[in-house]
Amino acid sequence: MSESIGIEIPIFPASSALGWADYWDHFLARLRWKRGEHRVRPGLYSLGKPGQDSPVLVSANYTLSFDALRSALKGIDAYILVINTFGVNVWCAAGKHTFGTEEVVERIETSELARVVRHRTVILPQLSAPGVSAHIVKKQSGFKVEYGPVRSGDLPEYLKTHTATTDMRRVRFGIVDRVVLTPVEMLGYLLYTLVAAAGLFFWGGWAATLMVVLSVVGGAILFPLLLPWLPTRDFTTKGWSLGIVITLAVSLVNMLVLGTDATLAHKVLTTVSNFLIWPPVTAYISLNFTGASTFTSRSGVKGEMISYIRPLLISFTMGIILNIVAKFVH
């Protein structure tokens, strides 16, 4: 279905009211179900009864991004230009440059936006800025890029003056924002965790199983929750420090509370190997969370990967070797 404004340009009708199907889609997206398939068709959409002077807001074609935008514009006549980010949210797509200059320009042209509105301004989400060169968009399409507020909920107030307050520009990544991401993070590692936990039980008993489970839970759940309070600046070293605490706790319970009949040499080698294996696991999972956080930049993520991937791999490999050696020390 599409509307027409007197010329043969497809404009798809949209509503600011979300239905149960939308909420169900959001729930499945949060659970990582069919990841990449939560998409909206790219193109030009209308909210209410927009005219030639109505604002044009640009969105990713990820359903959660599109729905957050349209639901925030209740009672406002506007156009939404949905660009193709391959079902990825604004922040991540900007980092990958799928929410980028070329796609914005192309979508302006293919939607024939210049024939739909008289003004020459498109309003982009502030978090799309890393992927878009505003001056190139203006040069190639004739449309000025205006960056709206960080959160879609501030758009009704912003559209009154087209001026963002300091508070509207402030990027927040509070505990609620982080909590809603943990199911996606954990479910991504769930199968690997279960397989590793079962296999390691026969190798190192309950302690090995508990270590792998807590190391993954630490990186996928505890790390997002504790992110602002963990020491150091880099995500990798933050995760590493959390992994050390988890490994220390499990090691102490194993050695002091339950005890073991193994020799001192075996205990020492096993403990040292655990500190070489499991903190890197937590650190690696924590490093992956950079893609979900607004605390990081594209260059910062690359810098962390260059600096830490090799040390993590070396530590993990040495730990595996040492753990095997410990098996033969009685």
pLDDT tens, 265-289?
A: 888 888 899 999 999 999 999 988 8
Residues 187 and 138 in one domain: no
Please determine, for residue 35, whether its predicted confidence score (pLDDT) is greater than 90: no
What CATH code is carried by the domain that includes residue 157? 3.40.50.11600
What pLDDT sits at residue 5? 46
Q: How far is CA 316 from CA 56, 224, 284, 325, 326, in A?
A: 51, 23, 11, 14, 15
Q: For residues 280 and 239, what is the distance between their CA atoms, to the nearest angstrom?
A: 8
Q: Give the structural domain span for 309.
A: 177-327
Residues 193 and 310 in one domain: yes
pLDDT tens, 164-215?
A: 999 999 888 888 888 888 888 888 899 999 999 999 998 888 889 999 999 9
Q: For residues 143 and 105, what is the distance between their CA atoms, to the nearest angstrom?
A: 9
Residue 5 counted as domain residue: no
Residue 6 counted as domain residue: no
Average pLDDT rounded to a whole number, residues 28-48:
89
Angle at 80 between CA 74 and CA 86, to 5 degrees: 120
pLDDT tens, 54-76?
A: 999 999 999 999 999 999 999 99
Residue 7 counted as domain residue: no
Residues 167 and 204 in one domain: no
What pLDDT sits at residue 184? 83
Whole-number percent of the chain with pLDDT over 70: 92
Residues 236 and 194 in one domain: yes
Note the pTM of the prediction, 2 decimals. 0.77
- The number of folded domains in the chain is 2
Per DSSP, the three-state class of 275 is helix
Mark which of 110, 137, 171 sits at the end of a domain: 171
Residues 166 and 17 in one domain: yes
Residues 24 and 55 in one domain: yes
Residue 291 counted as domain residue: yes
Residues 21 and 141 in one domain: yes
Six-digit token string for 183: 């199911």
Mark which of 150, 171, 192 sits at the end of a domain: 171
Residues 21 and 167 in one domain: yes
Residue 4 counted as domain residue: no
Residues 164 and 220 in one domain: no
Per DSSP, the three-state class of 193 is helix
Indicate the pLDDT class of residue 297, thresholds 50, 70 and 90: low
Residues 164 and 223 in one domain: no
